[in-house]
Chains A and B, each alone.
Chain A
């Protein structure tokens, strides 16, 4: 069964510094996608970045990059030049390509606090 693990319940980072949020996953499928979502205190779920299991290059979206290490089954999110508005809960999620319903499975989340 697929599983996502985020081992950091909370993280602090100084404004303008980079931070890495950890995510490991487990799946028996060869084809899957990995996603990161941001949930601010207002509650909405915002899609940030995606990495496919067959992608050889790490995904990047602006200040977000995904450090994908397939052999280690890890998909860490790196946020560069942190801003106060980055303070939020961050969820790692996985979607198996051949799952019948295409559901996303989420990790427990990491709460990031950016200090001025």
Chain B
């Protein structure tokens, strides 16, 4: 069964450094998402992406964050200057449609630790 893949599974970085989290969505999916989950807390929406542009972003997704689909397969999340509070699990997800009957398929996540 096709799946969303994320790399790396764990990233440790120092405060102020830039990080890029990578995702390969399911190949025929058109809609892409990033979510984050601070340890033990709820899963929070960051951004949705379709047709090479952001469809919607949350208040969390400020100027420090950016997303890109550099080629036909990868979807990346960049954090320009990491803060301690960016430590979280970051999930990439993709969906075939935006319709309410189409689930989001999630990757296994990247655990980001900012020291």
Query: CB within 8 Å of B: which residues of A?
Result: 31-33, 35, 37, 42-47, 50, 52-53, 91, 93, 95-97, 99-109
Contact = CB atoms under 8 A, between A and B. Distances in A.
Contacts of A105: 45
Given A33-B102, A99-B56, A109-B42, 18 more contacts: A42-B108, A43-B111, A45-B91, A45-B93, A45-B106, A45-B109, A47-B106, A50-B103, A52-B101, A96-B100, A99-B98, A100-B98, A101-B33, A101-B50, A102-B98, A105-B45, A108-B42, A109-B43
B105 A101 contact: no
B54 to A, nearest CB: 8
Nearest to B42: A108
17 contacts: A31-B100, A33-B103, A35-B103, A46-B106, A47-B103, A47-B105, A52-B100, A53-B100, A91-B42, A99-B56, A101-B50, A102-B31, A102-B97, A105-B45, A108-B41, A108-B42, A109-B43
Interface residues of B, number: 29
Interface of B: 31, 33, 41-45, 48, 50, 55-56, 89, 91, 93, 95, 97-109, 111
A33 B45 contact: no
Contacts of A107: 42
B112 to A, nearest CB: 13
B43 A100 contact: no
Nearest to B107: A44
Contacts of A35: 103-104
